[in-house]
Amino acid sequence: MVIDGKRVAEEIIGKLKARHSAGKFFGAVLVGDDPASVNFLKQKEKVGKELGIDFRLYPLSADISTDELRTEIGRLARPKNCGGFIVQLPLPEGVNKHYALNAIPKEKDVDLLSEAALGAFYSGRSPIVPPSVAVVEEILNMERRDLRGLKVAMVGTGFLIGKPVGFWLQNRVGELAVLDSKVNDLEVRLHDADIVISGAGHLKLFSAKQLKEGATVIDFGFSKIDGKIAGDFDPEGADGKNISYTKTPGGTGPILVAKLFENFYKLNEVE
């Protein structure tokens, strides 16, 4: 069964329309002109317009230095009427990603990418969770399965997906395996997993043939080949094994954007 991310996102956005966010704007920095980044920001801008939120995009030159970027982030995010701020990744080579992201004020960091915001999440003191975690939680709630009795495999240990999702899962599931995408026996390690979550970014890293009957796949992977977009998971044969999975594109991506705005509302909501 295909998990339709667009439909799930529409439901989340529909619920957000009934909430109030104090009329603040949502700021976003784009460094350079990476086509994928531009596309992602267009999706976010579209949702912002649908919700009636003032989404402000600030394009910056790709040759900006780390210190200059930090200064710009601080200046742009400082206004009191800024309710949320993001820096679109990836950043150009030569820019210290973590140092730049730390310039985002914690109370406006809807992506939870600064050390202050992430630290609050990892210590259980954050009012919001990383969008990737929120996506996983949303889909697992839809599946209505008892997590305590499940074996979960997290493929990829990256900054955006693997680390925060793995942390969130560790005390919620029966058994958790966090796997590097380059592990030699990946096929064996995935064979008995009830749920596979992947954020490796390796085209068709694993397939339905390697998974058990009735497994669920949440695929954050994003690769482009011959002009076509595909994920880490190759779904061929999934229907025959009753595997539920997010398609790429149109799977986790739209839900991620919806959850980003949900975080914006949570940080700025007024009664």
Structural domain boundaries in the chain? 19-105, 131-253
Q: How many CB atoms lie within 10 A of CB 226?
A: 5
Q: How many CB atoms lie within 10 A of CB 185?
A: 9
177 class by beta-carbon count within 10 Å (0-12 exposed, 13-18 middle, 19+ buried) = middle
State residue 84's pLDDT score: 98
State residue 18's pLDDT score: 92
State residue 20's pLDDT score: 84
Chain-centroid distance of CA 263 in Å reads 12
147 secondary structure, DSSP code: G
State residue 270's pLDDT score: 64
Q: Taking the CA atoms of the chain, what radius of gyration do you get in angstroms? A: 19
Select from 3.40.228.10, 3.40.50.1100, 3.30.60.50, 3.40.50.720 the CATH code of 131-253: 3.40.50.720
State residue 266's pLDDT score: 96
Do the domains 131-253 and 19-105 match in fold? yes
Upper half-sphere CA count for residue 169 (Cβ side, 13 Å): 30
Upper half-sphere CA count for residue 38 (Cβ side, 13 Å): 6
* Tokens coding 28: 């976003």
CATH architecture for residues 19-105: 3-Layer(aba) Sandwich (3.40)
The CA-based dihedral angle spanning residues 181, 41, 131, 55, taken in that order and rounded to the nearest 10 degrees: 170
Global pTM reads 0.96
Backbone angles phi, psi at 32, to 5 degrees: 85, -160
**pLDDT digits (tens), the chain, 271 positions:** 999 999 999 999 999 999 987 899 999 999 999 998 999 999 999 999 999 999 999 999 999 999 999 999 999 999 999 999 999 999 999 999 999 999 999 999 999 999 999 999 999 999 999 999 999 999 999 988 889 999 999 999 999 999 999 999 999 999 999 999 888 899 899 999 999 999 999 999 999 999 999 999 999 998 887 778 899 999 999 999 999 999 999 999 999 999 999 999 999 986 4
Beta strand pairing call for 151-155 and 25-31 = unpaired
